[in-house]
């Protein structure tokens, strides 16, 4: 790129000039740059493929620039355009040029482009207005492309999430089935777990899909135990943002702890209580989330003879996502569960880091 001061070249928002003779290229470059339009000028036909790969928003070419090599290079580029693309090409023709022949030849050679023909000499304002209109049309094409890409990404994400949900439901059912002693118990336990899964997915959806507040997860999961303004489960801790997977896993684990407390633990007696606390601690230069579930006032506790669904799920899910399984202590005074994981594993992805430069 040569010539006077200009703005930086972007994707689809700049003009490629092909004008080898009579200072036409320098004149147009100066004219457009003075109006803030990004410009690139190709001086050598051999360099044209490289310029085209930079994705111009429009091409402005004098008819003497349209050599067989240039026509072929542009034709090859157009053949590989995506479906949403229709490159605007502005051709400047002399009065003496065989205009009908040129139009017919270019129409046949460049079927996937939008052709605009101007006759020289022409007013500067007319040329600039035509180029600006062509760029605007090109940017509308980019909007269509971005919409298609977003829709495709959403479909893929939806497919991924549905598969994950179905896998979770299938696993949940199989593990619930193994622990059920009757059809009624199977229906009751499985239904409760499906409701818990539904609630946490609603929380994740309302939060935007990729991040969720730990406080919100706790509040929604424990809401059934906070009727009439009271609560036998006291929860406190700083507001921490977690990834979708971490929030979902924690919600299901808290649901299992609460269900166990109602059936066998502190919440099975009128005076029983549960304290749920979380905090951030530092160790070896890294931040960790520590969550503690402590029961008291319930019946005496002893280790179970076999692990149920809740324990198996928590050990598997937390061990995989948090990096270490929970520490479950069956103290006589009440069950105590400690969950610990590095924040680097639990935090949502940084949206700025996930954005890649477009090719």
pLDDT exceeds 50 at position 359: no
Helix (H) or strand (E) holding 181: none
Burial 288-300 (b: 16+ CB within 10 A, else e): bbebbbbbbbbee
| pLDDT at residue 2, as a whole number | 43
Task: Give me the mean pLDDT over the 228-235 stretch.
Answer: 71
Helix (H) or strand (E) holding 41: strand 39-41
E strands, 230-307, are 233-236, 241-243, 273-283, 286-296
| pLDDT at residue 224, as a whole number | 67
Q: Among 177-181, 205-209, 212-216, 332-336, name the most confident range.
A: 332-336
Instruction: Using a pLDDT cut of 70, give the percent of the chain over it.
Output: 83
Burial 335-347 (b: 16+ CB within 10 A, else e): bbbebbbbeeebb
Chain centre distance of CA 119: 47
Q: In what order do the strands lie in the sheet with 327-331?
A: 233-236, 273-283, 286-296, 334-342, 327-331
Question: Is the whole model's pTM more than 0.75, yes or no?
Answer: no
Residue for token pair 């598969």: 163
Task: Give me the mean pLDDT over the 209-215 stretch.
Answer: 81
Name all domains of the chain by residue range, CATH numbers in brackets. 15-145 (3.40.50.2300), 181-350 (3.30.565.10)
> Which among 138, 95, 140 is positioned nearest to 117, based on CA atoms?
95
| pLDDT at residue 5, as a whole number | 40
Task: Give me the mean pLDDT over the 304-327 stretch.
Answer: 85
pLDDT exceeds 50 at position 228: no
pLDDT greater at residue 286 or residue 192 = 286
223 — pLDDT class (breaks 50, 70, 90) = confident
Q: How far apart are CA 349 and CA 9, in angstroms?
A: 30
Q: What are the pLDDT digits (tens) for 5-55?
A: 444 566 788 999 999 876 888 888 899 988 888 999 998 889 999 999 998
Distances (CA, A) of 342 to 48, 212, 294: 52, 17, 21
Pairing mode of beta strands 286-296, 273-283: antiparallel
> Which among 182, 217, 214, 177 is positioned nearest to 197, based on CA atoms?
217
Answer whether 138's CB lies under 8 Å from 12's CB: yes
| pLDDT at residue 334, as a whole number | 94
Q: What are the pLDDT digits (tens) for 121-157?
A: 888 888 899 899 988 888 888 888 888 888 887 687 6
């Amino acid at each position: 790129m040569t010539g006077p001061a200009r703005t930086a070249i972007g994707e689809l928002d700049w003009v490629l000039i092909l004008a080898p003779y009579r200072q036409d290229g320098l004149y147009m470059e100066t004219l457009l740059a003075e109006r803030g339009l990004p410009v690139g000028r190709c001086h050598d036909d051999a360099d044209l493929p490289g310029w085209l790969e930079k994705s111009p928003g429009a091409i402005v070419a004098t008819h003497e620039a349209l050599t067989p090599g240039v026509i072929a290079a542009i034709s090859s580029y157009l053949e590989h355009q995506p479906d949403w693309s229709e490159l605007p090409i502005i051709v400047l023709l002399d009065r003496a040029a065989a205009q009908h022949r040129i139009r017919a030849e270019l129409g046949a050679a460049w079927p996937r482009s939008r052709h605009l023909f101007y006759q020289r000499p022409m007013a500067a304002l007319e040329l600039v207005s035509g180029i600006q209109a062509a760029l605007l049309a090109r940017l509308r094409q980019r909007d269509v492309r971005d919409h298609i890409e977003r829709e495709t990404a959403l479909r893929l994400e939806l497919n991924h999430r549905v598969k994950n949900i179905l896998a979770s439901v299938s696993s949940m059912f199989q593990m619930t089935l193994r622990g059920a002693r009757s059809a009624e118990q199977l229906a009751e336990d499985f239904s409760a777990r499906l409701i818990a899964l539904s609630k946490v997915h609603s929380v994740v959806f309302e939060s935007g899909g990729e991040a969720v507040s730990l406080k919100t997860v706790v509040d929604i999961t424990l809401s059934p135990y906070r009727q009439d303004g009271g609560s036998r489960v006291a929860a406190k801790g700083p507001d921490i943002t977690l990834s979708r997977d971490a929030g979902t896993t924690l919600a299901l684990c808290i649901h299992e702890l609460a269900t166990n407390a109602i059936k066998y633990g502190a919440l099975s007696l009128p005076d029983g209580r549960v304290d749920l606390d979380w905090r951030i601690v530092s160790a070896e230069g890294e931040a960790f989330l520590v969550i503690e579930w402590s029961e008291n006032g319930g019946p005496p506790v002893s280790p179970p003879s076999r692990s149920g669904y809740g324990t198996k799920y928590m050990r598997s899910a937390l061990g995989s996502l948090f990096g270490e399984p929970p520490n479950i202590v069956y103290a006589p005074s009440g069950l105590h569960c400690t969950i610990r994981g590095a924040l680097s594993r639990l935090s949502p992805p940084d949206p700025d880091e996930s954005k890649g430069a477009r090719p």
